């Protein structure tokens, strides 16, 4: 902001015909100060989640986000008869409950549990912000650890022993997003998922993937979203003998006050990064037997737990 002193000097010079070089110096100072003011991009996305994965958005300091994610079973049910019997996947659902919290404007953390027996925790840090006269994109880091609690499986190598560390999976992502205008935002997600245990004679412990997602605003409170993860290696990875596929999801997003609803159709049912990025065993299609699509939704409700300093004073000014 321009100070009162600088403004007064500028007005005096303009009306009193001050020395020309003094005016030049004054305008140079003003231009420098204006250049320092950055107009940061806001609401690149409306939620901290795009569909399955994360966006560059962070919760504000002291804000808690209670999230419920729900994915129904495969619509085909494995056969036409099973599809009808299971009401096109409604009877075979997976639910995840999570709690996220904003520590600072640039740092947030979260924990969650899903019915697929995945327990995870994550940290997300905003590194660079998109600005009108600054950086052309926003950059964030996302890192998570996931612990699976299913019974120990039969190992592919008979001499191997099942260890607790075999249950751990680690995901690291760079989230690179740009808000092109008030309607369109796109995001790239270079990803590394580390699996502590795989059949190392056939597959790598590290799966590299490139995710891409976007949001197209339709109205003030509604938008269409999409998300796709392409694996760069481990493309022939098998999970319990099943072929794995890249995940593609489409969604319709609606905001109503403190709630954000996301309605989703995807070929992935799992809600853990290690699974929907590198271990998805369902394919995309519309006709049996290729139809393994899942309907689902995300619900988010935010609460201000710790009010920032000066909040009460600001509220008094409003009233």
pLDDT in tens, 274-311: 999 999 988 886 555 556 788 999 998 888 888 766 54
Strand partners, 101: 64, 109
Residue 279: C-alpha distances to residues 72, 149, 317 (Å): 18, 16, 54
The length of the chain in residues reads: 319
Q: Is the pLDDT of residue 149 over 80?
A: yes
CB 286 within 8 Å of CB 44:
no
Q: Is the pLDDT of residue 53 over 80?
A: yes
Q: Is the pLDDT of residue 9 over 90?
A: no
Band (pLDDT 50/70/90 cuts) for residue 15 is: very low
pLDDT digits (tens, 9 = 90+) for 74-96: 777 555 555 566 666 677 789 99
pLDDT at 89: 67
pLDDT at 243: 87
pLDDT at 314: 43
Report residue 273 as tokens.
């990064």
Q: How buried is residue 282: exposed, middle or buried, by Cβ count under 10 Å (0-12/13-18/19+)?
A: buried
CA separation for the pair 92, 98 (Å, rounded): 20
Most confident of the ranges 8-17, 62-71, 257-266: 62-71
Q: Is the pLDDT of residue 135 over 70?
A: yes
Domain coordinates of the chain in residue numbers?
4-36, 63-318
Cα angle: 250, vertex 255, 137; to 5 degrees: 65
Strands 138-148, 206-217: pairing is: unpaired
Give the number of other CB atoms < 10 A from CB of residue 14: 11
Q: What is the mean pLDDT of the chain?
A: 82
pLDDT greater at residue 240 or residue 291: 240
pLDDT digits (tens, 9 = 90+) for 179-219: 999 999 999 999 999 999 887 778 899 999 999 999 999 99
On the CB side of 68, CA atoms within 13 Å amount to 5
Report residue 262 as tokens.
């996301």
Which residue reads 């100060």 in tokens?
Answer: 33
pLDDT greater at residue 153 or residue 315: 153
Q: Is the pLDDT of residue 36 over 60?
A: no
Band (pLDDT 50/70/90 cuts) for residue 273 is: very high
Q: Is the pLDDT of residue 220 over 60?
A: yes
pLDDT at 222: 94
Residues above pLDDT 70, as percent of the chain: 76
pLDDT at 83: 58
Most confident of the ranges 175-179, 242-246, 262-266: 175-179
CB 143 within 8 Å of CB 53:
no
Band (pLDDT 50/70/90 cuts) for residue 160 is: low
CATH code for the part of the protein at 63-318: 2.40.160.40
> 252: cis peptide before it, omega within 30°?
no
**Model-level pTM?**
0.80
pLDDT greater at residue 97 or residue 304: 97
Which residue reads 């592919």 in tokens?
Answer: 156
């Amino acid at each position: 902001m321009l100070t009162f002193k600088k403004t007064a000097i500028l007005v005096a010079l303009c009306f009193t015909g001050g020395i020309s070089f003094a005016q030049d110096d004054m305008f140079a100072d003003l231009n420098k100060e204006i250049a320092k003011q950055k107009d940061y991009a806001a609401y690149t996305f409306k939620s901290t989640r795009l569909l399955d994965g994360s966006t560059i958005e962070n919760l504000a300091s002291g804000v808690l986000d209670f999230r419920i994610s729900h994915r129904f079973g495969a619509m085909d049910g494995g056969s036409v008869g099973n599809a009808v019997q299971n009401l096109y996947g409604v009877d075979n659902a997976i639910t995840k409950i999570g709690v996220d919290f904003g520590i600072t404007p640039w740092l947030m953390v979260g924990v969650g549990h899903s019915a697929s027996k995945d327990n995870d925790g994550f940290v997300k840090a905003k590194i660079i912000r998109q600005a009108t006269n600054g950086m052309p994109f926003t950059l964030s880091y996302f890192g998570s650890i996931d612990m699976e609690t299913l019974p120990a499986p039969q190992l592919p190598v008979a001499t191997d022993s099942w260890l607790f560390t075999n249950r751990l999976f680690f995901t690291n992502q760079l989230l690179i997003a740009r808000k092109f205008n008030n309607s369109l935002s796109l995001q790239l997600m270079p990803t590394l998922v580390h699996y502590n245990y795989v059949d190392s004679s056939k597959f790598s412990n590290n799966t590299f993937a490139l995710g891409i997602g976007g949001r197209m605003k339709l109205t003030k409170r509604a938008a269409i979203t999409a998300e796709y993860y392409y694996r760069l290696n481990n493309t022939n990875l098998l999970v319990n003998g099943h072929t794995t596929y890249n995940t593609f999801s489409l969604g319709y997003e609606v905001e109503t006050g403190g709630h954000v609803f996301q309605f989703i159709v995807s070929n992935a049912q799992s809600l853990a990064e290690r699974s929907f990025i590198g271990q998805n065993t369902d394919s995309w299609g519309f006709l049996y037997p290729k139809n393994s699509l899942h309907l689902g939704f995300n619900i988010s409700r935010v609460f201000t737990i710790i009010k920032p300093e000066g909040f009460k004073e600001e509220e008094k000014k409003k009233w």
